Amino acid sequence: MKSLKNYIDHTLLKAIATKKDIISLCEEAKTYDFFSVCVNSCYATLAKEQLKNSSVKVCCVIGFPLGAMSTQAKVQEAQIAIQDGADEIDMVMNIGFLKSGDFESVLKDIQAVKSIMPNNTLKVILETCYLDEDEIIKASELAIKGDADFIKTSTGFGTRGASFEDIKLMKSVAKNTTKIKASGGIKDAKTALYYINLGVERLGTSSGIAIIKGETSNSNY
């Protein structure tokens, strides 16, 4: 197994996150050698500058946190984030379209974003807290068909974060062809390791330092 630090997308997505907060996030990521920092797209340039000459990647969320904006808006946001230095994109699926049964629109939304970033990692956030088991399976299938590199559980802004049951359902669809990211509510090493043992390849958390130190965080994300 990889070192635990290499699974962590060190995350700060709060609306009140300041430039100083993002700089601190990047310094922490360098200190603990996390895989990436995950930030809102307005901070892509700042994060890239802070992380130059390090191995830490920049991940930006788009269509966040609702997934309900137009496909064109998501594509444009992804393009700008990549131009500004993002290595990876975490996009929110159009959950309302999914629950409406408009699967073609969900798929086209994902495909449109992936088409402009063929050489960058795309993670599609399903927001599993709003989905029943059949919807989680369908959402996973659509994201995989849309060429997502990862399927991801949660934004951290819904009614709950990841669950072990979510991961088991997603893994039943992804098998070994598409990777899985668990996010939301991962606050300690025991939980992190359990997710990894279920087959998760990445962890989205603001509690990375506590996880590495063997402590338990009181963070909500």
pLDDT in single tens digits along all 221 residues of the chain: 689 999 999 999 999 999 999 999 999 999 999 999 999 999 999 999 999 999 999 999 999 999 999 999 999 999 999 999 999 999 999 999 999 999 999 999 999 999 999 999 999 999 999 999 999 999 999 999 999 999 999 999 999 999 999 999 999 999 999 999 999 999 999 999 999 999 999 999 999 999 999 988 777 66
101 contact partners, CB below 8 Å, separation of at least 6: none
Catalytic position from the list 114, 123, 138, 181: 181
Enter the tokens of residue 6: 């290499």
Give catalytic status of residue 114 as yes or no.
no
Q: Which DSSP helix (H) or strand (E) runs through 203?
A: strand 202-205
Q: Which listed CATH number (3.40.50.10470, 3.20.20.70, 3.20.20.60, 2.40.50.320) goes with 4-213?
A: 3.20.20.70
Q: Are strands 36-40 and 202-205 parallel, antiparallel or unpaired?
A: unpaired
Catalytic position from the list 123, 152, 166, 187: 152
Q: Give the SS3 label for residue 161.
A: coil
Q: Sign of the CA dihedral 59, 65, 71, 76?
A: negative
Give catalytic status of residue 152 as yes or no.
yes
Count Cβ neighbours within 10 Å for each residue of 95-121 and write b for 16 or more, e otherwise: bebbeeeeeebbbbbbebbbeebeebb
> Which of 101, 91, 48, 47 has its CA nearest to residue 71?
91
Contact 173, 137 (CB under 8 A): yes
Give catalytic status of residue 99 as yes or no.
no
Other Cβ atoms within 10 Å of 53 Cβ, number = 5
User: Distance between CA atoms of 151 and 123, rounded to whole angstroms?
Assistant: 6
Contact 159, 127 (CB under 8 A): no
- pLDDT per residue over 165-208, tens digit each? 999 999 999 999 999 999 999 999 999 999 999 999 999 999 99
User: Distance between CA atoms of 84 and 95, rounded to whole angstroms?
Assistant: 27
Catalytic position from the list 90, 109, 149, 166: 90
Residue 181 has what DSSP assignment?
Answer: E
What's the pTM?
0.96
Enter the tokens of residue 172: 């039943």
DSSP 125-137: E--GGG--HHHHH
